[in-house]
Amino acid sequence: MNIIGFFIAVFLLVLVPYIGLWKLFEKAGVPGWKALIPLYNAYTMIELSGRPVWWWFLLLVPGLNILVAFGVTIDFIKSYGKLSLGQILGSVTIPFILFPKWGFDKETTYWGPSVTPEFKAKHQKKLAKSSAREWTEAIIFAVVAATLIRTLFIEAYTIPTPSMERSLLVGDFLFVSKVNYGARMPITPVSFPFAHHTMPLIGTKAYWDGIKLPYYRLPGLSDVKKGDVVVFNYPMEADTPLNRPVDKRENYIKRCQGAPGDTIALLQAQVYVDGKPMPNPPGSQIDYTVLDNGTPLNPDVLQELEVTQYDNTLSPTMTKASAAKIKGFSNIKSIAPNIAKLGVGDPSIFPNGTPQYKLKATDKDFNWNVDNFGPIIVPKKGWTVKLDSLTLPVYGRAIEVYEGNKLEIANGEVKINGQKATSYTFKMNYYWMMGDNRHDSADSRYWGFVPEDHIVGKALFIWMSWDDNAGFFSKIRWSRLFRGIN
């Protein structure tokens, strides 16, 4: 949405309803100017509908205030005889149409406080509901309440891939907190309830991106910390062919290894932050090469040690603890981690494969790989980076795609939004995310930084774990139920 569209949206969503509210206040004998004062107008609406004053204080509670605001609005319009289901739904979905319509409608009058016993007794027949309407209102309320809970407080998430093994397993069902980092307000507000980006069965888009709101996050309990297991939107879905809005990009789950301003490096599969080794999660694993004496490893032992074999290769994936136990078996000649060689570059590793961000076409790729990487600095809001042949490939995508600038590189010269630039100051914080399954995880090593507006929430605990490959009576991993995520 451009700046003109943004101001049009503000006018429709904020100013126009206030005009209607002014006229409705006057119908109740209240000075219309009170409609223009934020929070005080809500206090007046509560008074006119007969709700107790303490309801106003609920409007100050983040998250709960949205649900209370719906209730205040519905009680208020009932006080003017707007009792039908369509009028109730319209008051919270299109107030910029209905409030002015009712405000300037001569037949719309103030009936009195709608929540009082006297009002209900006087208008008993009009307030009576059919069974169908009661069910409809109950379903609508449930959908609205569930949507608010998912948006503001907590949401369920399922682990679809092995990228976080053995900390999190395929089939783990998690609860993800929106409160810890602060709930992100919807960027694409018009969408089908309970569908993320694609409609079930028919496969079409589950949202309309004609309206996009600016990024805003409610205050949280803490910032994203190193070591947190974080759910975020996959940044690469900003590209063709998907071109999805930020909040409709696929949800990924990884562990935060680098916070804004950190210097990240990998050496021999060990993560270093600001020159110090980061503790490896107990469940982290990599590939190993196993050489036996001709007697293969017992499948039951492999299962007990939670060793993953891919197509019976001799390079199973396991934790360091499992590797130490296997090393002691009498039929094992040797076991060693498969660590990529230092100085041998991988073209699939970030920031390789992005020729559009090279200062010169002849600039060489970085000789980084999945186990040896960096060092690079994770961008921090307000940090200024010099733009040259070493930094442009690393930060070009963040500058252009995530921060919405027009970046041009030609003849060794850089232009940002048409102006020659030798440096850039970041507008957002960024994070470095990696899977605990280091050799089977598509993460920041492949596609770079995660912007702060992509952060969804913090993984809290596993409430259910289901093993598709186990026997019928062993499908539930009972030992993992209600386990916290560290």
Asked if residue 458 has pLDDT above 60, the reply is yes
Does residue 273 form part of some domain?
Answer: no
For residues 59 and 67, give the distance between their C-alpha atoms in angstroms, rounded to a whole number.
Answer: 9
Residues 173 and 129 placed together within one structural domain of the fold: no
Single residue among 151, 168, 196 that ends a domain in this structure:
151
Q: Which residue has the higher pLDDT, 302 or 204?
A: 204
For residue range 123-155, list pLDDT tens digits in order: 887 777 777 776 777 777 777 778 888 888 899
Query: Residue 4: its pLDDT value, please?
Result: 59
For residues 389 and 310, give the distance between their C-alpha atoms in angstroms, rounded to a whole number.
Answer: 40
Q: Under a CB-based contact definition with an 8 Å cutoff, are residues 249 and 234 in contact?
A: yes
Single residue among 121, 151, 181 that ends a domain in this structure:
151
Distances 225 to 67, 219, 429, 474 between C-alpha atoms, Å: 30, 16, 12, 36
Does residue 196 form part of some domain?
Answer: yes
pLDDT band at 272 (very low <50, low <70, confident <90, very high): very high
State in Å, rounded, how far the first CA of the chain is from the last one: 39
Query: Residue 9: its pLDDT value, please?
Result: 58
Residues 331 and 289 placed together within one structural domain of the fold: yes
For residue range 164-175, list pLDDT tens digits in order: 999 999 999 999
Residues 147 and 158 placed together within one structural domain of the fold: no
Residues 8 and 140 placed together within one structural domain of the fold: yes
For residue range 56-114, list pLDDT tens digits in order: 998 887 667 777 888 899 999 999 999 888 888 888 878 888 999 999 999 999 999 99
Residues 201 and 104 placed together within one structural domain of the fold: no
pTM equals 0.79
CATH number for position 228: 2.10.109.10
Query: Residue 91: its pLDDT value, please?
Result: 87
For residues 288 and 365, give the distance between their C-alpha atoms in angstroms, rounded to a whole number.
Answer: 28
For residues 115 and 277, give the distance between their C-alpha atoms in angstroms, rounded to a whole number.
Answer: 62
Give how many domains the chain has, as a whole number: 4
- To the query of whether residue 254 is one of the catalytic residues in this protein, the response is yes
Residues 474 and 423 placed together within one structural domain of the fold: no
Structure tokens at 15: 């100013």
Residues 77 and 135 placed together within one structural domain of the fold: yes
Does residue 304 form part of some domain?
Answer: yes
Residue 472 domain boundaries: 153-259+448-486
Does residue 59 form part of some domain?
Answer: yes
Does residue 378 form part of some domain?
Answer: yes
Query: Residue 7: its pLDDT value, please?
Result: 59
365 CB contacts (<8 Å, ≥6 apart)? 345, 347, 352
5 CB contacts (<8 Å, ≥6 apart)? none
Does residue 270 form part of some domain?
Answer: no
Residues 159 and 78 placed together within one structural domain of the fold: no
Name the average pLDDT for the chain: 90
Residues 470 and 383 placed together within one structural domain of the fold: no
Single residue among 123, 151, 179 that ends a domain in this structure:
151
Catalytic entry in 163, 167, 191, 465: 163
- Listing DSSP states for 195-237 in one string gives -SSB-TTT--BSB-TT--PPP-B---SS---TT-EEEEE-GGG
Residues 56 and 93 placed together within one structural domain of the fold: yes
- Listing DSSP states for 342-358 in one string gives TT---TTSTTTT-GGG-
Catalytic entry in 82, 178, 248, 254: 254
For residues 252 and 236, give the distance between their C-alpha atoms in angstroms, rounded to a whole number.
Answer: 11
Residues 384 and 471 placed together within one structural domain of the fold: no
292 CB contacts (<8 Å, ≥6 apart)? 331, 332, 333
Does residue 342 form part of some domain?
Answer: no
Q: Under a CB-based contact definition with an 8 Å cutoff, are residues 113 and 119 in contact?
A: yes
Asked if the bond preceding 375 is cis, omega within 30° of 0, the reply is yes
pLDDT band at 471 (very low <50, low <70, confident <90, very high): confident
Q: Under a CB-based contact definition with an 8 Å cutoff, are residues 453 and 214 in contact?
A: no
- Nearest residue to 224 via CA among 481, 453, 405: 453
Query: Residue 1: its pLDDT value, please?
Result: 43
Does residue 435 form part of some domain?
Answer: no
Mean pLDDT of 469-475: 87
Mean pLDDT of 202-218: 92
Residues 354 and 333 placed together within one structural domain of the fold: no
pLDDT band at 313 (very low <50, low <70, confident <90, very high): low
For residue range 8-18, list pLDDT tens digits in order: 655 656 688 89
For residue range 216-260, list pLDDT tens digits in order: 998 899 999 999 999 999 999 999 888 999 999 999 999 999 999
Q: Which residue has the higher pLDDT, 262 or 190?
A: 262
Query: Residue 152: its pLDDT value, please?
Result: 86
- To the query of whether residue 475 is one of the catalytic residues in this protein, the response is no
